[in-house]
Structure 1
């Protein structure tokens, strides 16, 4: 077993999760830091990232989720939960997302106290504060897959539906990635290069592109989770559509924590049928995704 594998296994044991994966970019960062004499700073960063993710994992477990895998990245971590259920509860997603940056801000408070009572020197205090502020603030940027993007999706999914909220958060991520890379290039031209900003922008762009590509499959997991969930004590969300509207165009507007009633309208605007959420979800998983909703009236 390699050193990295043993490290991942030990971290997984600490987290109490099925698997921990250290991203290759993080390994490359540690190796580069060693050769330029910044290994201690990189290891400190690694520690703060672990604690950041520890906040996510513990909060998710406290809310009753099973954490299958944790990926450690230079800017934070990604927790993969059993059956990807987290995003399907806006409240839980927001609480788990904020837990990571909250840990970093608690560490800033701890450092301030230790510095005030002269248990931490000025240089170490400055390094400690910079790393934790950087991790916490960067993760609160409102673009997926960052924590801020998850908070944005949680806030928007009840209004515009899960899929549209996810797409909005990825669009913000694209804009942030371009802004970061553009700022990095500008800094280079004015004589103050900031390679880290350019790399973060590039990494955010790549992960956002990959996430955007998987939105359809994530929507299907969301719809399957809705089909399985209890319908007790859910608020009603109603939609009005024409009979020619495709089933897909309706279900992608479904929101978490809501039960949907769909009114099918005739050409004169009168209601000709009422279809419940469960009927539409059953049609989706029967392969009738692209059929008009009017086809359900012929049953």
Structure 2
């Protein structure tokens, strides 16, 4: 692991094992090229994230791409998140076209040019699969931010990612029983990695949601600065506070209307007060009205 420009850059152990294997089998040049492709792919994410004045804490390189860890905790707009995600595959587009052009112009050996543009095509398309933390998974998450509150958005992202990871694993094993084919070991390893990543993500959603709540003040500052309208949320005053905070949307600032079953509004509370009470409350199942009498 090295630190450059304030960012920790590391190579995943899986990539290291493949590199060792490439040296033993005489494919080091191909793998080194793959390493450079993945590196440029991740630099695309970093450049766009930095253009939005976001802090990139770590970039971890994997055989099929990488993971750029950005310090946002769900506080940056979904549109910016989507632009950061798509920046990686866009690097594969220009690199692939450049390699193809070099082959057509005779600047590169045709076989080598084909290898480079095909590697870019595979890495770019693979990263667009809707599986978190691939770029396609992050794009899916950004899209879900416009249709779900933040908590269910995380739930659906992880569920879909787990299902697709299982399908990937199942297909890799299935090929082992086909005549003339063998076990798709690379696909199996990647599928297992994505499954474990999303299973861990799913189990950590309650903790990730608390981190999201702790950064909600950023959304309030942006909304006030732009003069945005607050999004009203009407809740039964007897609902537990944990259920109430899970109604928060990623980019919206809210006013909570605590209402009786008869339809009378008892109290209007800004979201920051609800969040602060939740974070300081020992019993998350207490009725919200008990905290605002």
1:109-120 matches, within 5 Å, as: 109-120=97-108
- Using the size of structure 1 for normalisation, the TM-score is 0.90
Question: Against the structure 1 CA distance between its residues 235 and 112, is the aligned structure 2 distance closer, same or farther, given a 3 Å change threshold?
Answer: farther
Secondary structure, counterpart of 2:146 in structure 1? helix
Counterpart CA distance in 2 for 1:87 and 1:39 is: 41
Q: Alpha-carbon deviations, 1:25-57, whole Å to 9, x = none?
A: 110110112222222221111111111111011
- Using the size of structure 2 for normalisation, the TM-score is 0.92
Counterpart CA distance in 2 for 1:291 and 1:222 is: 21
User: In the alignment, what sits opposite 1:134?
Assistant: 122
1:9-158 matches, within 5 Å, as: 9=2, 12-13=3-4, 16-82=5-71, 84-85=72-73, 88-158=76-146
- Is 2:214 aligned against 1:224? yes
- For residue 262 of structure 2, the aligned residue among 248, 260, 268 is 268
User: In the alignment, what sits opposite 1:293?
Assistant: 288
User: In the alignment, what sits opposite 2:150?
Assistant: 162
Q: Is the 8 A contact 2:245 2:275 kept in 1?
A: yes
Shift of 1:81: 2.3
Which segments of 5 or more consecutive residues in structure 2 lack a partner in the other structure? none
Counterpart CA distance in 2 for 1:153 and 1:88 is: 13
- For residue 198 of structure 1, the aligned residue among 173, 188, 191 is 188
Shift of 1:87: 5.8
1:163-182 matches, within 5 Å, as: 163-182=151-170
Which segments of 5 or more consecutive residues in structure 1 lack a partner in the other structure? 1-7
Shift of 1:160: 1.0
Shift of 1:85: 4.1
Counterpart CA distance in 2 for 1:70 and 1:201 is: 20
Shift of 1:236: 2.4
Q: Is the 8 A contact 1:88 1:222 kept in 2?
A: no
Tell me the matched-pair count: 286
- For residue 239 of structure 1, the aligned residue among 209, 220, 233 is 233
